[in-house]
Every structure is written in C-alpha cells, then in structure tokens.
C-alpha cells in the first residue's frame, strides 16, 4: 500500500492504567485525548503528544495529514528522544 492510499490518523487516544491514588486525569487537545494513569504516567503521555505534534509541525503537517507509517516513524523518534526507562 503506498502512502497516498494509506489511511490517515485523525486523533490519538492515550490511556493509562496505573492510577492508584483515585484521581481522574483527563487532558484533551484538538487531536488527542489522554485519560487516566498515575500522575507520572499522565505527564509522560502529555509530553509525548506535545512532542509528536511539534515534530509534525516541523514537517509542515497536521496529524490528520499523516499516514499510519509516518505517525509510527514520528512516534519512534519522539520516544527515542525522551530516554524513558
């Protein structure tokens, strides 16, 4: 399947399952929603989506103009740059 025929990504849903403090965390933006997680996990999700959007911006693209394969490439670049452990 070439890029022109590949489906575009329209939004991102991030879900964290490690919340043990009873807090309900929700962050929404124009192309994403982040739900749940511990404070640390939710912060990592926020940082990740911000960097994904920044990376796409540098490429002159919006999320809804991005193919699945390009999104995965961008996500890998972002995660690799964050040094998560």
pLDDT in tens, 31-70: 999 999 999 999 999 999 999 999 999 999 999 999 999 9
Q: Tokens for 6?
A: 């590949």
**Mean pLDDT lowest among 2-6, 37-41, 64-68, 77-81:** 2-6
* Sequence-distant (≥ 6) Cβ neighbours of residue 40 within 8 angstroms: none
Could you tell me if residue 3 is inside a domain? no
- Domain hosting residue 78, numbered range: 12-82
* 20 within some domain: yes
Number of domains forming the structure of the chain:
1
Residue 6 lies in a domain: no
What share of the chain has pLDDT > 90, as a percent?
86
4: in domain = no
Helix (H) or strand (E) holding 65: none
């Amino acid at each position: 399947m070439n890029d022109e025929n590949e489906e575009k990504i329209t939004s991102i849903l991030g879900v964290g399952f490690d919340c043990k403090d009873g807090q309900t965390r929700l962050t929404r933006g124009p192309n994403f929603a982040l739900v749940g997680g511990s404070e640390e996990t939710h912060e990592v999700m926020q940082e990740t989506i911000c960097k994904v959007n920044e990376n796409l911006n540098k490429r002159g693209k919006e999320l809804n103009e991005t193919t699945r394969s390009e999104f995965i490439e961008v996500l890998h670049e972002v995660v690799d740059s964050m040094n998560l452990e």
